[in-house]
Amino acid sequence: MASTAARPSVVPEKDLESFQAHLSKSTRIIALLGAGVSASSGLPTFRGAGGLWRTHAAQQLATPEAFARDPGLVWQFYNYRRHMALNVKPNPAHYALAELARKKEGFITLSQNVDGLSPRAGHPASSLKLLHGSLFDVKCSDFFCKYTEVDNYTDPIVPALAIPTTSDGDEIDPTTNSARQARDLDISDENVDLPELDLAHLPHCPTCKTGLLRPGVVWFGEALPVNVMDDIEEWIEKSKTIDLIMVIGTSARVYPAAAYVDQAREKGARVAVINMDKNDIPASGVYKRDWFFEGDAAKIVPELFKSVIGDITEIPDAADRG
């Protein structure tokens, strides 16, 4: 385990001091996370994020109707995303947020990310609310079956979904350098052939035996998880005051993210925005008493929290544990 090395400040000293002074006395804190938190982990996105994956509109693959129509294609899309996420590591922002959750009892993290990096960084599950689910949760698609499994890091989730490599189809001695240097093919590229799938070889429910398992993410047209939304509402409602809301790696302009910023403000919270783009601010804007920290969350967040958590120390990645 190695702590982060000393480095020059990436935050203006005056802003750092005022933020840390407020953080130290804050007892009710919200962190709202978006994809920008994971950017420093090098997490690749499917080709044409917000556009196409191969020749398919990515949004059109993320629906119950798409899964019913072609579960094999949808699973290839999501298994690819699982595989890509498992090939990167949580970054210092994930570890710093996890440590702050251990130091501050009244801290809750609301994440819009499905990449599994916050859980893998050891963020306490009790204070981490995944608004859109996780790539690494699976559940039965049969309406009458309630089977769910969390933190399934098996890659591939079934052998038939293995990402093809440059050595596939070649007669290569597995002990040779050429075999060891085999590389995954980018199946997000429409010019790369997808493996042929037999429906019987897709992941099936171990409970009902008939339903297919599906990714535990919130698809378009589906409601956000009721238990998660209830937990967040209860946390906010029981707080007479909220001291601080941190908006990290997200513009927080759409529901429910925008609503959480407004609700926190109504209870007295100051807002701290950490984002690479200075134009990405909450719908309600940035007030005079708020902070905007422009730059890489992986560098800024550990520095902001240092007065409370000290130097962060990486813990074993949950995906690497047996």
Domain definitions of the chain by residue range: 11-43+91-132+224-321, 47-87+134-164+184-217
The pLDDT value recorded for residue 318 is: 79
Report the pLDDT value the prediction gives residue 172, as an integer from 0 to 100: 47
Residues within the annotated binding site?
Answer: 140, 145, 205, 208
**CATH of segment(s) 47-87+134-164+184-217:** 3.30.1600.10
Identify whether 201 is a catalytic site residue: no
CA-wise closest residue to 161 among 212, 206, 205, 196: 196
Kindly give the pairing relationship between strand 148-149 and strand 133-140.
antiparallel
- Identify the segments of the chain with pLDDT beneath 70: 1-8, 44-51, 167-182, 321-322
pLDDT of residue 151: 94
Residues belonging to the binding site for Zn(2+) are 140, 145, 205, 208
Question: Are the CB atoms for 34 and 254 separated by under 8 Å?
Answer: no
Q: Which of 29, 15, 23 is nearest to 245 (CA)?
A: 29
115: which 2 tokens?
A: 């990449």
The residue whose two tokens read 């398919």 is 56
pLDDT of residue 256: 85
User: What are residue 57's phi and psi, to 5 degrees?
Assistant: -65, 120
Exactly one of 22, 56, 132, 204 is catalytic; which is it?
132
What Å distances lie between residue 175 and 159, 171, 179, CA to CA? 22, 12, 7
The pLDDT score that the predictor gives to residue 123 is 96
Give the tokens for residue 60. 């059109």
Q: Is 149 exposed, middle or buried (0-12, 13-18, 19+ CB in 10 A)?
A: middle
DSSP state of 296: -
Taking domain 11-43+91-132+224-321, whether its CATH number is 3.40.50.920 is answered by no
What pLDDT is recorded for position 2? 41
Please give the pLDDT value at position 317: 82
